């Protein structure tokens, strides 16, 4: 009796593929199943070839597939695993699509059925808690050229698959385009990155200023398919320090007091006033004034200083007035009374002080 083998019946030599399971990060693997018709068993191995496509990237999102699968002898199907590779990339759901292309076995070629393609989805676990934060990674800026900087980062150190446009405001006591180059325009965290640096470029000037601030505040962020909200560290400060020190600057005036105008006569007592004012922004330290008298004048009969000490050098006809330190805006006065001892007559123009030699010897130190 002859026994007929129906393994080679065309109805039993059809291959199909289905989705076995979808995948998800961080470690839920997916699969495809390549099958013969239900109930069909072969005594020989069947080698099946296929192509791989989809939006997921082999070697990055999942372990690359070989392109070949074998249904073993006496088997009805073979499973192709889709092994997930976890990453920190914020991305949309991605796909792996397998399409059957050919087959071979000792008994001949198999037909690829209508169900020749299937897709496995890979879900992302990073597209949650989408927040942006900012830190002052270079918080201490200074004139003339020490720049500061902010770093805007995705929370958790995650990476973005899409460029993120950062929404922000700028504040602080420093003046844009006067103390630093204005921060404006679009700030973007590029695709594939987790952060972006925003420089604070200092502009040098000659103004004496207290430390000033640049305050960066994040208000949100957008990408093609995602939106970000501010993290708890949504504000950061860079401080700009001026290199222009407060210094003293002395102004001296000399004015006749009594009589206010000439002419002045032999034996007459004359009083004048010396005024020293610190018109600078800092302390003038160790200020000393040297007032040289004309040869026609006798030894001062009276010297009255509002601050400091005076002495008279008869050899040089010089009054030395030691004031000491003078704060910004401080004023000191010295009144000197003397008698004309020579026959020369002195004149002073109306409302103008007489010309009496004077010298100021300040030792100026910045505050």
The string of pLDDT tens digits covering residues 255-303 is: 989 888 877 778 888 899 999 999 988 888 999 999 888 776 778 889 9
State which residues form the domain around 328.
250-361
Please indicate, yes or no, whether residues 110 and 147 belong to a single structural domain of this protein.
no
The CATH number of whichever domain residue 35 belongs to comes to 2.60.40.2030
Query: Across residues 52-76, what is the average pLDDT?
Result: 96
% of the chain with per-residue pLDDT over 90: 66
Please indicate, yes or no, whether residues 306 and 349 belong to a single structural domain of this protein.
yes
Identify the residue whose tokens are 């000393």. 288
| 277 backbone dihedrals φ, ψ, rounded to 5° | -130, 135
1 in a structural domain: no
pLDDT at 346 over 60: no
Burial status of residue 34 (CB atoms within 10 A of its CB: 0-12, 13-18, 19 or more): buried
Of all helices (H) and strands (E), which one includes residue 20?
strand 14-21
pTM of the model: 0.65
4 in a structural domain: no
The CATH number of whichever domain residue 308 belongs to comes to 2.60.40.1170
Q: What is the 3-state secondary structure (H, E, C) of 180-217?
A: ECCCCCCEEECCCCCEEEEEECECCCCCCCCCEEEEEE
pLDDT attached to residue 292:
87
Ranked by mean pLDDT, which of 60-64, 205-209, 360-364 comes out on top?
Answer: 60-64
- Of the candidates 253, 228, 255, 267, the residue with the CA atom closest to the CA atom of residue 354: 255
Sheet holding 94-104, edge to edge: 23-24, 117-123, 94-104, 46-53, 68-71
pLDDT attached to residue 11:
56
pLDDT at 6 over 70: no
Query: Across residues 314-323, what is the average pLDDT?
Result: 90
Q: Which of 78, 98, 123 is the last residue of a domain?
A: 123
pLDDT attached to residue 10:
56
Please indicate, yes or no, whether residues 223 and 153 belong to a single structural domain of this protein.
yes
Residues 6+ apart with CB under 8 A from 314: 299
Q: Which of 100, 123, 146 is the last residue of a domain?
A: 123
Please indicate, yes or no, whether residues 15 and 109 belong to a single structural domain of this protein.
yes
pLDDT attached to residue 9:
54
Question: DSSP labels for 81-142?
Answer: EE-B----EE---EEEEEEEEEEE-TT-PPEE-S--EEEEEEE-S-SSS-EEEEEEEE-EEE
Please indicate, yes or no, whether residues 80 and 163 belong to a single structural domain of this protein.
no
Distances (CA, A) of 182 to 119, 149, 174, 185: 50, 13, 10, 10
Query: Across residues 75-96, what is the average pLDDT?
Result: 96
Please indicate, yes or no, whether residues 110 and 143 belong to a single structural domain of this protein.
no
Question: pLDDT tens, 234-252?
Answer: 999 999 998 877 788 899 9
Mean pLDDT (the chain, rounded) = 87
């Amino acid at each position: 009796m002859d026994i007929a083998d129906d393994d080679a019946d065309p109805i039993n030599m059809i291959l199909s593929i289905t989705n076995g399971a979808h995948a998800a990060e961080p470690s839920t693997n997916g699969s495809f199943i390549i099958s013969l018709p239900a109930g069909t068993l072969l005594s020989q191995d069947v080698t099946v070839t296929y192509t791989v496509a989809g939006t997921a990237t082999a070697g990055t999102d999942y372990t690359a597939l070989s392109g070949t699968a074998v249904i073993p002898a006496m088997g009805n199907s073979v499973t192709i695993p889709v092994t997930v590779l976890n990453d920190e990339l914020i991305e949309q759901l991605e796909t792996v699509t397998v399409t059957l292309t050919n087959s071979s076995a000792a008994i001949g070629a198999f037909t690829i059925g209508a169900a020749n393609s299937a897709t496995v989805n890979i879900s992302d676990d990073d597209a949650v808690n989408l927040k942006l934060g900012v830190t002052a990674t270079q918080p201490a800026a200074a004139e003339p050229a020490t720049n500061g900087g902010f770093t805007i980062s995705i929370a958790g150190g995650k990476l973005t698959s899409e460029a993120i446009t950062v929404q922000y405001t700028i504040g602080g006591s420093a003046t844009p385009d006067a103390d630093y180059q204005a921060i404006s325009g679009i700030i973007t965290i590029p695709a594939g990155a987790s952060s972006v640096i925003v420089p604070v470029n200092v502009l040098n000037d000659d103004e004496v200023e207290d430390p000033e601030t640049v305050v960066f505040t994040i208000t949100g962020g957008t990408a093609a398919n995602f939106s970000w909200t501010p993290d708890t560290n949504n504000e950061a400060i860079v401080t700009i320090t001026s290199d222009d020190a407060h210094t003293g600057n002395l102004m001296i005036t000399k004015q006749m007091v009594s009589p206010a105008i000439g002419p002045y006569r032999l034996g007459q007592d004359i009083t004048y006033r010396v005024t020293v004012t610190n018109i600078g922004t800092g302390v003038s330290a160790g200020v000393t004034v040297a007032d040289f008298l004309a040869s026609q004048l006798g030894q001062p009969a009276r010297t009255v200083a509002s601050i400091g000490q005076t002495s008279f050098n008869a050899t040089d006809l010089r009054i030395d007035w030691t004031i000491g330190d003078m704060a910004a805006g401080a004023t000191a006065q010295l009144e000197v009374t003397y008698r004309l001892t020579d026959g020369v007559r002195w004149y002073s123009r109306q409302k103008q002080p007489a010309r009496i030699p004077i010298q100021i010897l300040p030792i100026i130190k910045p505050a």
